[in-house]
Amino acid sequence: MLQLQQEIQRNVAAALDEDLGYHSGDITAALIPATQQAQARVICREDCVVAGAAWVDEVFRQLGNRVQVTWQVKDGEAVKADSTLFELQGPARDILTGERAALNFLQSLSGTATVTATYVMALKGTKTRILDTRKTLPGLRAAQKYAVTCGGGKNHRVGLFDAFLIKENHILACGSIANAVAAARQQHPGKPVEVEVESLDELNQALTAGSDIIMLDNFGLEDIRNAVSINQGRCKLEVSGNVTVEALPALAATDVDYISSGALTKHVRAVDLSMRIIKTW
């Protein structure tokens, strides 16, 4: 949580820097008297799963902590169109200066949470769980992975440091799957070792090498079923490659453990949000 809080602070600082011209300021908000106070409301224009409240709070904290943010919903909550998400009260200048940065975070992360929830619902009643990938927006890895959990999904490795994912080019460079897995065990014995395979022959090699997880890359349904039969529960099996929400029930029916999809984070469609000032004084 400490690492995530540090990421939130960095995310928001970068967003405000680019919006304010690296401290040049908000010249439009400066048209408003400094003493003007306002109350504003943010609503969603469509059904969604909310994610990103901490980023909104941090925007107004970094703008001087003069705006009170009152939330009507929580991260991970499914809300209907036209629901009020939160209200703001404080200096009108600060509210308007922080509006776009705050909504950018909230609508993008809620978009990730919402599509993840759709995938999770398609897997309901099965043992298979949906995983994200490293195909995230640059600089927003932790934010999007957090949003995936708000939608009910699970995180794959965070980066290149916390788990091995031995892919085709790693295998070629190491000489074999066995060599790559052995080197991983020797160098970092506590780290999970996953191997991506492209055939049932490679699956057998990865099983013999003692992989913790095996990713079945672009396998057809029949080959996935064969892989599950060959595996016999010896390690976790993950399916990946051009996964669509429509394909999820059939994939889960093969009894694999995980399905990973880059679409959760790379094909982001922001949720439609709107802020309106409802009172000034």
- DSSP letter string, 134-175: S---TT-HHHHHHHHHHTT-B---SSSSSSEEE-HHHHHHHS
Please write the tens of the pLDDT for every residue from 70-103. Answer: 999 999 999 999 999 999 999 999 999 999 999 9
| Order of strands across the sheet that contains 273-280 | 68-71, 84-91, 37-44, 273-280
* CA quadruple 233, 239, 157, 126: dihedral, nearest 10: -70
Residue 127 is among the residues annotated as catalytic for this protein: no
Distance between CA atoms of residues 31 and 205, nearest Å: 68
For residue 73, give both structure tokens: 């919903």
Distance between CA atoms of residues 16 and 34, nearest Å: 20
Q: Tell me the pLDDT of the chain averaged across its residues.
A: 97
Catalytic residue among 19, 198, 217, 255: 217
| Order of strands across the sheet that contains 258-260 | 129-131, 258-260, 236-240, 213-217, 193-197, 164-166
Q: Is the pLDDT of residue 242 over 90?
A: no
Q: Are 213 and 191 in contact (CB under 8 A)?
A: no
Buried b (16+ CB within 10 A) or exposed e, 55-65: bbbbbbbebee
Per-residue pLDDT at 1? 67
Residue 217 is among the residues annotated as catalytic for this protein: yes
Catalytic residue among 100, 185, 191, 236: 100
Q: Are 128 and 259 in contact (CB under 8 A)?
A: yes
Q: Amino acid identity, residue 39?
A: Q
Residue 261 backbone dihedrals phi, psi, to 5 degrees: -145, 125
| pLDDT band, very low/low/confident/very high, at 42 (cuts 50, 70, 90) | very high
Please write the tens of the pLDDT for every residue from 45-68. Answer: 999 999 999 999 999 999 999 999
Q: Amino acid identity, residue 212?
A: D
If you count them, how many residues does the chain have?
A: 281
| pLDDT band, very low/low/confident/very high, at 24 (cuts 50, 70, 90) | confident
Catalytic residue among 41, 135, 225, 266: 135
Distance between CA atoms of residues 228 and 277, nearest Å: 56
Distance between CA atoms of residues 153 and 116, nearest Å: 6
Residue 74 is among the residues annotated as catalytic for this protein: no
Q: Which is it for strands 258-260 and 236-240: parallel, antiparallel or unpaired?
A: parallel
Sign for the pseudo-dihedral over CA of 9, 157, 147, 112: positive
| pLDDT band, very low/low/confident/very high, at 106 (cuts 50, 70, 90) | very high
Residue 196 is among the residues annotated as catalytic for this protein: yes
Please write the tens of the pLDDT for every residue from 166-215. Answer: 999 999 999 999 999 999 999 999 999 999 999 999 999 999 999 999 99
Q: Stretch 244-257: mean pLDDT, rounded?
A: 96
Catalytic residue among 58, 196, 238, 257: 196
Q: Are 95 and 277 in contact (CB under 8 A)?
A: yes
Catalytic residue among 41, 61, 154, 167: 167
How much is the pTM?
Answer: 0.95
| pLDDT band, very low/low/confident/very high, at 22 (cuts 50, 70, 90) | confident
